[in-house]
Amino acid sequence: MKRFRWFVASAMLGLFSATCSTIPSASAQDDEKPFGLGSKAPALDIEHWVSNGHDAFKPVSEFQPGHVYVVEFWATWCGPCIASMPHLAETQEKYKDKKVQLISVSDEDLDTVTEFLEGNVRGSEDKTYAQLTSAYCLTTDPDKSVYADYMEAANQNGIPTAFIVGKKGLVEWIGHPMEMDEPLEQIVADKWDLEAAIKKAEEAAKAQQALQEVFGKFQQGEFEEGLELLDKVISATKDEQMAAQLRGLKLNVMMQTGSFEEADVIPVAKEVLKSVEAQPMSVNNIAWMIYEKAEEGFFTDKPFLGEVAAMAEKAAAAAGKEEDWQVWDTAGHLYFLAENLEKALESQKKAAANPASEQAPEVAEFLKKLEGLKK
């Protein structure tokens, strides 16, 4: 059965992607400090303005006080950028009367962008990308001057990336455009705490630097030493979301490397599960990983497996209808390994109640197995 697994490599990539948008930054522009949150937003020198929000906006060079701008970087070859376009259009529509202008910038040539825009939106036969993106300002800047002023200056290496320029002309947020809803709403409403955002960014940058040393230990096979350093990073991390990711990385290392005993891993697994107990699908991912390791013979403690099954059962009750079958299925498998056939059957029946899932045949097959054991 296909499930998400937290391998060490993917966890490392996830941590870096989570922090690459929160670089060290200054509360005011200063030549001795890097460009980032709190910096004065550079003027825009964009060559081609392809769309203008149905004539609602004019080309921008200098940012107007009292207005909010989203400067987003994209490319025609970038799948996540294209997937973000509907959200960008919806966001501009939501804020069109609130002095918010969304400017999307590609560094490709005009012909490449124009040709892309002529194509139909994926999954739609009657709407082109030109029509979709006409809701906001879509531009192209082949000389890459704006890219240099923003992306390179802020040490941003991946797209799509959005910069929110606040009412005072300062960069107030940097990140993936699909994650900008809350900060944008607060910035427009004058409720955004820029200083707190700066502190969080600085903390993330320090954690990333410390993680370089941690990953170096892991790559050299020095897992115990690496985990000691990782524990220090976790203790110093005030961002609970990042701390949870780091605990997940620790659990991954302990389970996947073969350098640790079950008795050493169980307390860490419990800690990780508790830290994400309010996130049903995170509980599911970790619980399934524990199930797979139990199948391999790593986990043999039946009470522990029953405890994890109970957490998965609780998470299933809180999950959305389209996802709960996965968590019920995880609970069923874990209860089975914990030798609690009654609970395994109860959970698996709930998993099988969603026949529309891609893995419905596998879910049904396991339920049939459990029912056979009951006879």
Percent of the residues in the chain that have a pLDDT greater than 70, as a whole number: 90
Tell me: the pLDDT tens digits for 79-113?
999 999 999 999 999 999 999 999 999 999 999 99
Percent of the residues in the chain that have a pLDDT greater than 90, as a whole number: 71
Residue 9 has pLDDT above 70, yes or no: no
Instruction: Name the residue with higher pLDDT: 263 or 14.
Output: 263
Euclidean distance between CA atoms 95 and 101, whole angstroms: 8
Per-residue pLDDT, 206: 81
Domains of the chain with bracketed CATH: 35-192 (3.40.30.10), 261-374 (1.25.40.10)
Q: Please count the other Cβ atoms lying within 10 Å of the Cβ belonging to residue 167.
A: 18
What H or E segment, with its residue span, contains residue 156? none
Per-residue pLDDT, 258: 86
Q: Please count the other Cβ atoms lying within 10 Å of the Cβ belonging to residue 340.
A: 18
Q: Is 244 helix (H, G, I), strand (E, B) or coil?
A: helix
Full-model pTM: 0.62
pLDDT band at 274 (very low <50, low <70, confident <90, very high): very high
- Please check whether residue 166 is in contact with residue 194, taking contact to mean a CB–CB distance below 8 angstroms: yes
Instruction: Return the CA Rg of the chain.
Output: 24
Bridge partners of 165, per DSSP, are 69, 171
How would DSSP label each residue in 278-297? T-HHHHHHHHHHHHHHHHTT
Picking from 153, 14, 146, the residue whose alpha carbon sits closest to that of residue 73 is 146
Residue 157 has pLDDT above 50, yes or no: yes
Per-residue pLDDT, 22: 32
**Of the listed ranges 32-41, 90-99, 334-343, the one predicted with least confidence:** 32-41
**CA 81 to each of CA 42, 87, 195, 204, 257: distance values in angstroms, whole numbers, following the listed order:** 23, 10, 29, 24, 36
Residue 3 has pLDDT above 80, yes or no: no
CB-based contacts of 143-147 (< 8 A; 24+ apart in sequence): 143/47, 144/107, 145/45, 146/42, 146/44, 146/45, 146/46, 146/71, 146/105, 146/107, 147/73, 147/105, 147/107
Per-residue pLDDT, 323: 72
Euclidean distance between CA atoms 283 and 313, whole angstroms: 10
